Chain A
Amino acid sequence: MTSDARLNEAGQRMTACISSLRRYAHALLRDRTAADDLVQDTLDRAWTRLTSWHDGADMRPWLFSIMHNLHVDQVRRPRLATVPVDEEAMTVAVRGMHHDNLELRDLDAALQRLPAEQREVLLLVALEEMSYAEAADVLGISPGNVASRLCRAREKLRAVLDEQKTISLKVVR
């Protein structure tokens, strides 16, 4: 593949992953501007590390692992985030306050009560539908670790939601 064609393909694949990266970043950070910043940092870093992407390989786990590492770095070195007042921030505020669906808000709150390492695994598997092997690659842990964190995450989530006793789940047979 010529280098132009490779860059072109990489760009297309990255573009196709943006929505998924945003969804995960947003679920992780619960702050729209910070989440989009993280996605942008991820894409910027991905271009500088393109040599570590194997041509034709699924780009999503690779991008997610870059994002995971960036996120870990950010969490380790927390800074006071300054958010410019712009259109995006405004959109968040409006939607945030409109988030009045009780069940979803309870779930949101319950997810926040999970330890970060459990929440990450649960989001990668349940939301991003990654296999245990992919999630393990992203997080730099073993698939066995993914499985055990997932067990703990789901049990904890269940316990928290039971405690809240407000989520109403209905089974239609």
Chain B
Amino acid sequence: MNERPISDQDLHAYVDGELSPARRIEVEAWLSVSPEAAAQVQTYQEQNLAIKALFNPLLNETVPERLLQAARTPNRTAAAGSSGGLPAAAAPWSPWSLQRIAASIVLAVASAGAGWFAHDRLQPAIITVAANTPAASPLAHQAAVAHVVYSPEVKRPVEVGADQEEQLVKWLSKRLNADIRPPRLGGLGYELIGGRLLPGSSGPVAQFMYHDASGQRLTLYVSTENRDNKDTAFRFAQEGPVNVFYWIDGKFGYALSAGIAKSELARIAGAVYAQLGQKH
């Protein structure tokens, strides 16, 4: 026997299937007697699996049409609308190529990733905008996304609940450096659940959440990022399932979002506007 000592690089090469059959046997012999080396190999294998769990969900997504076009033909503009394109389903990349990974290793991470894969929670939350309606305004868009993200939350829809309204007001006012107060919408059937701080385009923004007796949720998004100093009238945007009324008032931008009829939302927006007007 003239065995070379097993190096760290051998262990990596073993994990990655880079060894010659003869060397692999030598490494395996070493692993069977060295718990440290075996643990090291296992760590690397687990890293590989976890990295796959993190990024493989991308493989399950629909490939954007612009990329399919770019791959099919050197001249994308000419190809648009042509019927000579290749079938869209020609992307047979296997989501999980596990043959190089020891089958005995299962990660808590990987199984959690598999649930994430299924998109069961995410799917309904993804807003799609018809191609002919470009998002009307960053404000309305951000508000709609924030609405879609947080309004389905069962356990933690807000960071600070309405039972601590005073603290909520103090906190948000301090962070946004302005007097931020949730309007009272009880007269319209909507009670405050609470609020949270969110990142806006250039700093913090606030979101207040309300619900009615049926559980229908409504969010008011308040930004202090407007620098144009140009007030606007009410504007309406529809972002997927969410209707948004928004307006600019001085440095404040407001957006009221809910998955309810435009007319009802307009009524509430009017009430919000009226209350806010009394304070500023």
Contacts and interface: CB of A to CB of B under 8 A. Distances in A.
B104 A43 contact: no
A55 interface: no
Interface in B57-114: 58-59, 61, 63-64, 66-68, 70-74, 86, 90-93, 97, 100, 104-109, 112-113
A94 B145 CA distance: 6
B64 A85 contact: no
A91 interface: yes
Contacts of B170: none
A171 B129 CA distance: 44
A23 interface: yes
Residues of B in contact with A, size category? 35 or more
Interface in B39-60: 42-44, 46-48, 50-56, 58-59
Nearest to B75: A47
Contacts, number: 177
A139 interface: no
B263 interface: no
A30 B148 CA distance: 22
A169 B46 contact: yes
A147 B106 contact: no
A107 B51 contact: yes
A108 B55 CA distance: 9
Contacts of A129: 97, 100
Contacts of B122: 94-95, 98
Contact of B54 (A16, A108, A131, A154): A108
A61 to B, nearest CB: 14
B91 A16 contact: yes
Among B68, B121, B145, chain A packs the most CB atoms within 10 A around the CB of B145
Contact of B141 (A22, A90, A151): A90
Contact of B51 (A14, A50, A123, A148): A123
A111 interface: yes
A154 B44 contact: yes
A36 interface: yes
Given A22-B67, A40-B70, A132 B16 contact: yes
A85 B143 CA distance: 13
A132 B18 contact: yes
Given A94-B127, A131-B18, A103 B112 contact: yes
Ranked nearest first, the 9 interchain pairs of A and B with the lowest CB-CB distance are: A47-B74, A14-B71, A43-B70, A126-B48, A15-B71, A23-B58, A19-B93, A103-B109, A85-B135
17 contacts: A7-B73, A19-B59, A19-B63, A22-B67, A26-B58, A27-B51, A27-B54, A86-B129, A90-B239, A93-B149, A101-B113, A104-B112, A111-B54, A132-B16, A150-B16, A154-B12, A172-B106
Interface of A: 7-8, 11-12, 14-20, 22-23, 26-27, 36, 39-40, 43-44, 47-48, 50, 85-88, 90-91, 93-95, 97-98, 101, 103-104, 107-108, 111, 122-123, 125-127, 129, 131-132, 147-148, 150-151, 154, 157-158, 167-173
Interface of B: 8-9, 12-13, 16-18, 42-44, 46-48, 50-56, 58-59, 61, 63-64, 66-68, 70-74, 86, 90-93, 97, 100, 104-109, 112-113, 116, 121-122, 125-129, 131, 134-135, 138, 141-142, 145, 148-149, 239
